[in-house]
Amino acid sequence: MPIPRRPCWVCAPSARFKRYRRGQTIMTRETHERDLCLIRAGRVRVIMLAPSGRKVRFRDIESGGVFGEIAALDGRPRCATVLVQEDTLLVRLAPDALGPLLQRHWPMWSKQLDAYLDSVPP
């Protein structure tokens, strides 16, 4: 589910905007960096490892999408690598900003969470 046109995260004091060029790696599997990333413009590819160790494309995420939510919420290392497919502008939110943001804007985040849970296979 895409983020709204007039998103609440622009008001978050800890929001950081960062540009990435095609071919760059935004984050790698097993790193401890925990930002939640919202794609303002561009497209990224999430790569995971199969049990065999082979790299598998998990999903492509376009403008309006979100990634990094798992590590931001559970505090564990990243479970995937994210590669830039076309020039991308991200809004990065530190995990400590998420609690207050979730509380202030729960209806929007609740829809995001429902959409995410619907996309996860049983």
Q: What is the pLDDT of residues 57-114, one digit of tens each?
A: 888 999 988 888 878 777 888 888 999 999 999 988 887 777 777 777 677 666 766 7
DSSP code per residue over 92-107: EE-HHHHHHHHHHTHH
User: 30: phi > 0 → left, psi -120 to 50 → alpha, else beta; which?
Assistant: left
Non-local (6+) Cβ contacts of 54 within 8 A are none
CA angle 49, 22, 68 (to 5 degrees): 45
Element (H, E) at 18: strand 16-20
Per-residue pLDDT at 115 exceeds 80 = no
pLDDT digits (tens, 9 = 90+) for 1-35: 445 445 555 556 678 899 999 999 999 888 888 88
What is the Cα–Cα distance from 39 to 69, expressed in whole angstroms? 13
Residue found under tokens 């939110």 = 93
